[in-house]
Amino acid sequence: MFVDIAKVKIKAGNGGNGAVAFHREKFVASGGPDGGDGGRGGDVLFQADDHLATLADFRYKRKYAAENGQPGGGNRKTGRSGRDLVIRVPRGTLVREAESGAVLADISGDEPVTVAKGGKGGWGNRRFAGATRQAPRFARDGFPGEEWEVTLELKLLADVGLLGYPNVGKSSLISVVSEAKPVIADYHFTTITPVLGVVRMGPENSFVMADIPGLIEGAGEGVGLGHRFLRHVERCRMLVHIVDVSGSEGRDPIGDYRTINRELVKFNPALADCPQIVAGNKIDLATDEQRESFRRFIEEEEKLPYFEIVAPIAEGTDALMRAVWEKLSTLPPIRRYEQEEVPFEVLAQKRDDGFRVYREDGVYRVEAAWLMRILNKTDPDDYESMQYFQRVLESSGILAELERLGVRDGDTVAIYDLEFTYVP
């Protein structure tokens, strides 16, 4: 079964807690604190796997968690770091934050991409020893790892996308110009999954073509297979629009052409600028008048390159592929999606675990797993970013709790590894 969208929860490992321990050795008096730090939590990474073609596996497993870091030990032993979790997905998968839709990663390259970072390990008590505090009996807990609910969305990596109504000959074309073997039959929606084929144009010259299952009117709003397959067009460098010139199914070729382009723009207006070549198929069934009428429309009104073909017997396909290859040589590479910031408003909504505020050694400390995600996205050097962070502290009740505990102007407040001076 072809599955190209899935929703899962990912959780990076928490950092291990620091240890409270004291040196014990024969003939050594007052050995002092020697509690080690906790290990770092494992990251969650996504890796492209060319042996995978769908996201079907994610229908059955919805939660993925990396290993937590191990706690520190005596004799200054640092806990073992948690193992990273590598999640393998088909190449071309976008990882989006589920609520905002922000792109966290585009898994199109060869290197694994970290999507959720593991928490830092907590400090052992040896870190807190000083001239005035020689035997601290406390340590720091590890930091929580990042946690996200993400949507996985597969967008095929293809140079060329084949478009057109059902049964216009897209599968026949890709079968004769590449080694792809799609199912071909004389009924609508024979192709129910995208098919990729490599078109070879000579030694070390080739491009990837995708047979996108047939679209119909309303596809831009999800009618028929709709959005399920239109998303695979978005990465294509150019489109080859196949039209049944003969109107063998009782439709108007010009109407078909306009309808498909209209649905593309409804789905994503940027697709209006995607280069197109139009291929008139089934010319052996068309009259001379039908062929000439459609040719004039494409070349004179639409100002697009036009080729006539009979796909099943490869008539005209060589010239079409040469034109596609020449056009590709002028176009930029396949689109890669840039990482996007998750809006602070979305991060600040996730407060299910509450917060903890306490005073320790003259420092007011704030702990909240949900706050860690906002902290990771906050730039201390950016005024607007810090202003928003302060509003989150106020709206969540953290500032009120600090005031209840007696915080004063000039006191130090620590939120995990961020320390600042309190100013009322």
pLDDT digits (tens, 9 = 90+) for 1-50: 456 789 999 999 999 999 998 887 665 556 688 899 999 999 999 999 99
Beta carbons of 79 and 39 less than 8 angstroms apart: yes
Average pLDDT of 301-308?
96
Reduced to 3 states (helix: H, G, I; strand: E, B; else coil), residue 265 is helix
- For 1-154, CATH gives 2.70.210.12
Alpha carbons 424 and 409: distance in angstroms, whole number:
6
Q: Across all residues in the chain, what is the average pLDDT? A: 86
Which helix (H) or strand (E) element contains residue 172?
helix 170-177
Alpha carbons 361 and 323: distance in angstroms, whole number:
74
Q: pLDDT tens-digit profile of 203-258?
A: 888 999 988 775 544 444 444 444 456 777 888 999 999 999 998 888 899 999 99
Q: What is the pLDDT of residue 351?
A: 58
Q: What is the pLDDT of residue 28?
A: 52
Topology (CATH) of 349-424: GMP Synthetase; Chain A, domain 3 (3.30.300)
pTM of the model: 0.78
Q: pLDDT tens-digit profile of 381-398?
A: 888 888 888 888 888 888
Alpha helices in 329-419 (DSSP H): 344-349, 369-376, 383-395, 398-404
Q: What is the pLDDT of residue 25?
A: 67
- Count how many residues are written for the chain: 424
* Secondary structure letter of residue 316 according to DSSP: T
Give me the residue spans of the domains in the chain.
Answer: 1-154, 160-328, 349-424
Look-up of token digits 């596609």: 324
Q: Which CATH architecture has domain 160-328?
A: 3-Layer(aba) Sandwich (3.40)
pLDDT of 117 over the 60 cut: yes
Q: What sign has the CA pseudo-torsion 84, 88, 92, 97? A: negative
- pLDDT above 90 coverage of the chain, percent: 47
